[in-house]
Amino acid sequence: MSRRNDFRRGAVSGIPIFLGYISVSFGFGILAVKSGLSVLQSTIVSITNLTSAGQVAGVEIIAAGGTIIEMILAQLTINIRYSLMALSLSQKLDSSFTRPHRFLASYGITDEIFGICAAQKEPLRPFFMYGMIFISTVGWVLGTFLGAAAGNILPSRITAALGILLYGMFLAIIIPPAKRERSILLVVIVSALLSISFKYLLPIISGGFSVIICAVAASVLAALLFPKKEEEQA
Amino acid sequence: MKTYIYIAVMAAVTYLIRVIPFGFFNKKIRSVFLRSFLYYIPYAVLSAMTLPAIFYSTGNVLASVIGTVIAVALAYFEMPLIVVALCASVAAFLAGFI
């Protein structure tokens, strides 16, 4: 399949991400301006980072006059989950994914892009990822700009309801395979139960850390109970 | 100016976290345990990120729970991602008036 087709297919697969990002980043734009950043600075944060929780934490540190060390530690903690996702995706790359392509596509490994890429049946090709990253980034940056420049125009009931979009998409990614494979159902349930326990019983642990601990524990358990032979894997 | 330095540091750390495993790790992992672990990780990550955060995602717990139920039902019937996401949002919006 040609690069153009791959790019288009990636962009179409990324439409739900675009819609989710434009609404979530709208909220980020409002927050960033409230924290004292200019519209330009808020937009640059979104172009250069392409991450939700990390950006919110970063903007809060800037607003509070925190140190550079604090900034580095916060980003590491919140975003280290991308390393696991990147490692997981590195195992399903097509041979056309040469190192320069890997350097470029690394920019766009987000929770949502990872989710859709991981759910692909065939090996990942660079232009498929570029298409998805492109449309997602447009949504993320445009939403940030609009939120920063004109945050208070949309009725708050609408912006509030848009908050569930991306989570709805996550459910749509994990539920169908959990129906088919008992091992995946186990992973989903254990990880969710751990995450809920952390939230209410150990609230000191930050959201980013909690996700890592829950995901690693649930996956180790499933890998021990239901090891997958190579031919069974997509 | 100081703000731009912070933004640059933020961006650099975030990029390094992504590029170190993705850009430089190109061996196929042979260990069945590790391969299985990486196979399960996506589902575990998405599940832990969604629950319980989805219940607080609209600022109204009841509306969010109703949106979640709709999303789970539509996902169970394997509707496309965008349909599930938008219907959850519309359901939460309407439930917000209850």
* A159 touches B: beta carbon within 8 Å: no
Distance (Å) from the C-alpha of residue A229 to the closest C-alpha of chain B?
A: 7
Give CA torsion, residues B95, A160, A196, A35, to 10 deg: -160
Say whether A171 and B8 touch across the interface (CB within 8 A): no
Query: Which residues make beta-bridge pairs with A93?
Result: A124
Nearest by CB to B51, from A19, A196, A229: name it. Answer: A196
pLDDT in tens, A125-151: 999 999 999 999 999 999 999 989 986
CB contact under 8 A, B89 and A58: no
The rounded distance, in Å, linking the Cα atoms of B55 and B58 is 8
Mean pLDDT of A191-209: 87
Tell me: the pLDDT tens digits for A68-121? 988 898 788 778 889 989 999 999 999 999 999 999 999 999 989 999 999 999
Inter-chain residue contact A164 with B88, CB threshold 8 Å: yes
Q: Is the CB of A15 less than 8 angstroms away from the CB of B82? A: yes
Please tell me if residue A167 touches chain B, with a CB cutoff of 8 Å. Answer: yes
Report the alpha-carbon distance of residue B21 to residue B5 in Å, rounded.
Answer: 25
List of chain A residues whose C-beta atoms are within 8 Å of the C-beta of residue B68: 164, 167-168, 171
How far apart, in whole angstroms, are the C-alpha atoms of residue A22 and residue A161? Answer: 13
Q: How far apart are CA A6 and CA A15, in angstroms?
A: 15
The pTM score is: 0.78
The partner residue sitting opposite A106, judged by closest CB among B15, B53, B68, is B15
Instruction: Count other Cβ atoms within 10 Å, centred on residue B7.
Output: 23
